[in-house]
Amino acid sequence: MGDRLAELRLRRGLTQEQLAERAGLSIDVVRKLEQGRRRTARLSSINALARALDTEPSHLVGQPGTFEASGAADPEGSPSVLALRRAVSPVTDLLGDEPDPEDPPGIDALRAALRSTEAVRREGRMGEIGVLLPPLIRDARAAAHAFDGPAAAAANSVLAEAYQIAATTLTALGKEDAAYTAMERSLAAIRRCDDPGLETLAVSTLAWVLTRQGRLADAERVALGRADRIEPGFRSSARELALWGILLLRAATAAVRRKDHGTVHDLLRLVNGAAESMGKDILVYATPFGRTNAGVATVNFLVEMDRGEEALRTVRTIPDLSSMPPTWRARFHVDRALAYADLGRDRAAEQALLRAETEAPEWMRYHSTSRRLVSDLRERAPRRDAEILRLADRLGLTR
């Protein structure tokens, strides 16, 4: 990160002092990052540096840009960013659709494939997503074109969700522009589908893509705009409360990275109110919401606001963590690790990271925050501490 930061700073003709001033950070942070004496930074700081240097946050953090090798001898059985790009943006859209030589699958088969892909995503098995997703998008597109009436609407619903999975996958690989294209395709499919709730889900996913692009004000605006439109009332269902709460969490994510802590607190009060009204967490389009997820999100925001002690106290109040999907649990343990590391408790941070790896080992290899923290702990660890060195090796981190 320090090398990329220094290179971009010099290209922009900035001194370290000028970059720090533009980003609203201390010169000490910039200097230590460039010198490699500090390998991690708050996401809010990374976003501030990215804005000051006119680049994407993903470029600064250096997250993996492609799928890891799966070991499959057959290239058709290996995940491919190119295959995913082709599925999201087929050239036939520009030159005219070519007839599909095969009959498209039925709606039941499409829905079953979508559920399977969503389950794989919740478990963080990125390579499998890369294999399953391109044919799912192609099949859903073919069905949407071939069918009429309710069947076409149902096929478009599957297609809209598949595009959103593509958007989150491409974002995880640092391909935010391609992810944005996938969201444009998803919203177009939603206009032809039979599920009005998918538009809210799409706005939530779009807010996440915009956040990862560093477009924090845009992310917050689109999430809050949709939340205002669907604000629940006394008779609202748990599903309606969950969709609203998910949007508020997206807005809070953007706000915390803008360092607007007052807005974060206001949004969390609304989130916790909605979660309490529901009583228990539910899955809405493969995304959990309720008291547990609200608590997990609160820990994340407290860590980002540099309130590690409070975050660790909040950890002890979260109910039924086992109900969360593996990737949510893994991210929760990474946040614990960040809090411990901020407090100088490196051994506890290391144990929390190992717990996260147990929950979602493949997800860890693609998660930039985890990789940065492991790299930092490795540099600070005594030579006899082989555990963090082995973890760094498993994540593919080189010195």
What pLDDT score does 350 carry?
95
Q: Is residue 232 part of a domain?
A: no
Q: Is residue 313 part of a domain?
A: no
Residues 102 and 187 in one domain: yes
What pLDDT score does 96 carry?
67
Residues 82 and 148 in one domain: yes
What pLDDT score does 100 carry?
61
| pLDDT, mean over the chain | 89
| H-helix or E-strand spanning residue 44 | helix 43-53
What pLDDT score does 63 carry?
63
End-of-domain residue from the set 62, 79, 112: 62
Residue 259 falls in which region: left (phi positive, over 0), alpha (psi -120 to 50) or beta:
left
**Can you state the angle between helices 368-380 and 346-359, rounded to 10 degrees?**
140
Q: How many residues does the chain have?
A: 399
What pLDDT score does 71 carry?
46
Output the six-digit token pair for 204.
């939530």
Task: Name the nearest CA neighbour of 391 among 323, 339, 333.
Answer: 333
Residues 30 and 101 in one domain: no
Instruction: Kindly state the average pLDDT of the residues 378-392.
Output: 82
More confident call, 118 vs 382? 118
Compute and round to an integer the Cα radius of gyration of the chain: 21
Query: Considering its fold, how many domains does the chain have in total?
Result: 3
Q: pTM of the full predicted structure?
A: 0.84
Domain that holds residue 356: 325-399
Whether the per-residue pLDDT at 46 is higher than 90: the answer is: no
Q: Is 16 exposed, middle or buried (0-12, 13-18, 19+ CB in 10 A)?
A: middle
Whether the per-residue pLDDT at 14 is higher than 80: the answer is: yes
> What are the tens digits of pLDDT across the range 64-105?
667 765 544 344 557 888 899 999 998 877 776 666 656 788
Residues 34 and 123 in one domain: no
Distances (CA, A) of 109 to 65, 105, 161: 31, 6, 15
End-of-domain residue from the set 167, 195, 223: 195
Q: Is residue 302 part of a domain?
A: no
> What are the tens digits of pLDDT across the range 157-210?
999 999 999 999 999 888 989 999 999 999 999 999 988 889 999 999 999 999
Instruction: Kindly state the average pLDDT of the residues 372-377.
Output: 89
Give the Cα separation of 84 and 290 in Å (integer).
32
What pLDDT score does 99 carry?
60
Residues 179 and 102 in one domain: yes
Do 252 and 301 touch, CB atoms closer than 8 A? Answer: yes
Do 193 and 110 touch, CB atoms closer than 8 A? Answer: no
What pLDDT score does 91 carry?
84
Give the Cα separation of 105 and 146 in Å (integer).
10
Q: Is residue 245 part of a domain?
A: no
> What are the tens digits of pLDDT across the range 253-283?
999 999 999 999 999 999 999 999 998 899 9
Indicate which CATH number applies to the domain containing 5: 1.10.260.40
Task: Name the nearest CA neighbour of 380 among 392, 394, 369, 368.
Answer: 392
| Number of other residues whose CB lies within 10 A of the CB of residue 254 | 26
Q: Is residue 314 part of a domain?
A: no
Whether the per-residue pLDDT at 321 is higher than 60: the answer is: yes
Q: Is residue 288 part of a domain?
A: no
Q: Which residues of 288-316 are buried (b: 16+ CB within 10 A; e: fewer)?
A: bbbbbbbbbbbbbbbbbbebbeebbebbe
Residues 32 and 138 in one domain: no
Task: Name the nearest CA neighbour of 40 among 21, 62, 20, 65.
Answer: 62
Do 279 and 264 touch, CB atoms closer than 8 A? Answer: no
Give the Cα separation of 97 and 306 in Å (integer).
52
Q: Is residue 389 part of a domain?
A: yes
What pLDDT score does 81 carry?
87
What pLDDT score does 76 carry?
53
Residues 21 and 103 in one domain: no
Residues 42 and 75 in one domain: no
> What are the tens digits of pLDDT across the range 96-135?
666 665 678 899 999 999 999 999 999 999 889 989 999 9
Residues 96 and 6 in one domain: no
Residues 23 and 45 in one domain: yes
End-of-domain residue from the set 155, 172, 195: 195
Whether the per-residue pLDDT at 139 is higher than 90: the answer is: yes
3-class DSSP state of 283: strand
Do 252 and 263 touch, CB atoms closer than 8 A? Answer: yes
Residues 128 and 165 in one domain: yes
> 């501490």: which residue's tokens?
385
Span of 58-62, 266-270, 287-291, 323-327 with lowest mean pLDDT: 58-62
Residues 40 and 116 in one domain: no
Give the Cα separation of 223 and 276 in Å (integer).
21
Whether the per-residue pLDDT at 361 is higher than 70: the answer is: yes
Q: Is residue 374 part of a domain?
A: yes
Give the Cα separation of 69 and 18 in Å (integer).
41
| H-helix or E-strand spanning residue 86 | helix 81-88
Instruction: Kindly state the average pLDDT of the residues 48-59.
Output: 81
Instruction: Kindly state the average pLDDT of the residues 56-62.
Output: 72
What is the signed CA dihedral for 298, 380, 330, 251, rounded to 10 degrees?
A: 40
Q: Which residues contact 15 (CB under 8 A, 6 or more apart)?
A: 9
